[in-house]
Structure 1
């Protein structure tokens, strides 16, 4: 019933064809915290940005509220990650796409032949693409392109902001690579709450194992815990990791299963996977989150 109300509201509101600006600035709505941070970096002072999801919010499970619909309707541009990451919002975005505006799914801009396949998602691809910094650079370029089209007066500003931000991403890549090279290859096994880090693993030669699979919609069963605990013991893995947007009880159950077999494994820390940290913290930015994750992983596995 709530889903029907939201879709009806979208239909009614879009019939108004309202594309106003606030204080002369573009109104931008974003979904995940990673996309919000990206758009703020590119748009700077020339846009108003409202992110639907906050720190610790799981995009796999997020549902649009009536308040979200109001924000979406008043937006000049909507950016979301796509590839079915925001699965519960797909109906809303589909409705919008057939109305007066088309939300921009940044993940759809990527070369599909380079993506990791997934039968679980409707897109048939693993949607956690922001863990490949090269993909995030492409996101930055697309955001700059769209903002410049919508607001050509400030196109040069958006271009300068994008170039500056991409340079920072280049520096992040170099720093991450140097840090990971301090960790022996045989220790590069990353066990987390769910499979959000496959692109990270592919980029930096980590074997990645998630207890819950690609989506947090699926629950890990006893058999999953037992199987992974045996893997941890066999590989002599020193640490496993919880995620900020996933309840830690599953990883704690995994740790307990390992200990019940006479072995020890530490919880190496909390990683930021589907959401950034709190606003105003280092982990509250994409660059800070990525660097924090890498330092946490490497320090715990050494």
Structure 2
């Protein structure tokens, strides 16, 4: 197993200034939340419903003790194909604020959420990202790739939108939400520094990321990787034998030695691709499991947005010949 040289570890280490700054911001945010919570003991916390785990995690970090957040979609759930359940309908009807990604990520729920917005406070948080920063969708004409969370710098813009939505829904919590958001945005900046460093260690000729579907285009733009998905942006698109054959040829021609499965998408196509390449005498391994449309299990590090992106960057770097700590950014902070 490769280990990172001392010089690289020094680069990855978070500077003392950043740690102190983050600590002060977090302490200020916690204190402000405490004061407001004490002053509002007679009031219930703001009820927030989020479609995906990534949005829910951001809302919890910004909302702190002033919010109660429920995510409709858990680990391993594909948001492209998800349809609202009876329980979801009740939860959103009772919520003070509903947050969804938009950009046609929740394709099967879009009509329901747009109708809900006629009577409830409903915000499509990713649609606040300027269009010039979005990537067009090859699957749906006139729409954009919805996977903006794959770039921490773009996701920071979404966090600001979530902060503003919480303030609008609960103006009394503005000071706490602002302080919490500032602390969390510093953590995202730290995440961006780490991912940039480890992914830059992958040799240029090896920066080809082949996964189950096109969820990593923003990742590719941010870190200089060529991204290839067996399926399109939506997992509803089908991958036929011709597509598998085409990608087997690509693996051989480009000497790609590692491909990746996703936690929220069936690994059937990836395994067919690996078997097809081996039948042609080209050895390919599954480089690891990536979090694409859903985070890990609740209560785990990978069950947070920072954990999922850290895990992805570390897994990709190590599988494609780069150098990354065994425990990722989490290990450096402990």
Does TM, normalized by the shorter one, top 0.5?
yes
Deviation at 1:219, TM superposition (A): 1.8
Partner of residue 45, structure 1: 65
Aligned to 1:249: 268
Question: Partner of 1:292 in structure 2?
Answer: 311
* 1:146-157 aligned within 5 A: 146-157=165-176
Corresponding residue of 1:74: 94
Moved more, 150-159 or 51-60: 150-159
Find out whether 1:269 has 2:292 as its counterpart.
no
1:61 aligns with 2:81: yes
Q: Does 1:212 align with 2:228?
A: no
How many pairs were matched up? 280
TM-score computed with the length of structure 2 as normaliser: 0.82
**CA deviation vs aligned residue, 1:38-68 (integer Å, no higher than 9, x gap):** 1111111101111100001000000001110
- Bigger relative contact order (CA 8 A; separation at least 6): 2
Unmatched runs of 5 consecutive residues or more in structure 1: 1-21
Query: The residue matched to 2:116 in structure 1 has which SS?
Result: helix
1:199 aligns with 2:218: yes
2:248 is aligned with 1:229: yes
- Of 103, 110, 116, the match for 1:96: 116
Contact 1:58 1:245 in 2 (8 A): yes
CA distance in 2, matches of 1:35, 1:288: 14
* Structure 1 residue 23 displacement after superposition: 5.2
Find the aligned partners of 1:90 and 1:109 in 2 and give their Cα distance: 16
Residue 114 of structure 1 is aligned with which of 111, 118, 133? Answer: 133
Q: What secondary structure is seen at the aligned counterpart in 1 of 2:103?
A: coil
RMSD of the alignment, in Å?
A: 1.2
Contact kept? 1:84, 1:123, Cα under 8 Å: no
- Deviation of 1:91 after TM superposition, in Å, equals 1.2
- Measure how far apart 1:97 and its partner are: 2.2
Q: Residues of 1 paired with 2:244 and 2:172: CA distance?
A: 56
Name the counterpart of 1:34: 54
Structure 2: unaligned runs, 5 residues or longer: 1-41, 322-334
**What is the distance in 2 between the residues matched to 1:110 and 1:237?**
34
